[in-house]
Amino acid sequence: MASEQPNEVLASLLAELGWSPRALARRINRVFGPGTVADTAPYHWRDDGRVPRPPLPALTAWVLSRELGRPITVAELWQGQAADSPLTMPADVEMSLPWSRSGALGIIDDWVVSGDFLPALDAILAAPPTST
């Protein structure tokens, strides 16, 4: 879908990052795998107001959110012209801790302190005992 009007939101976010559309494509490909998007496609998105096929609207919003340090929604980025889609994230996203004993302890500590374990614990305690 093309609006023939430049995507000013995308243009301003790229300017804020100091990125060209090609830099955006390269970052998307670095995060989600080579060939996810052509190097020149984001020029069409920015300059012609074209909207990429799913899941690229969501992938693009996720990359921009991560780089800018604030949420950028699909609706905001594409002015309601793109359908949101379930986001496929890389398996190692946000895995900044080392694969070591101290890294594992840090993950466990974060899990316990944040309370993320409570739903899992409830499910474990509610499960009927297994017969052996």
Give the Cα separation of 6 and 40 in Å (integer): 15
Per-residue pLDDT tens digits for 53-62 = 999 999 999 9
State the total domains in the chain: 2
pTM: 0.67
CATH (domain of 15): 1.10.260
User: Do 115 and 64 have their domain in common?
Assistant: no
Higher pLDDT pick, 73 / 98: 73
User: Do 58 and 21 have their domain in common?
Assistant: yes
Q: Six-digit token pair at 78?
A: 């594409």
2 - beta bridge partners? 50
By residue range, what is the domain housing residue 112? 96-132
Confidence class of residue 68 from pLDDT cuts 50, 70 and 90? very high
User: Do 73 and 102 have their domain in common?
Assistant: no
Location of structure tokens 């993320």: 116
Confidence class of residue 106 from pLDDT cuts 50, 70 and 90? confident
Give the Cα separation of 53 and 22 in Å (integer): 18
Is there a domain that residue 2 lies in?
A: no
Q: What SS3 state is found at 2?
A: strand
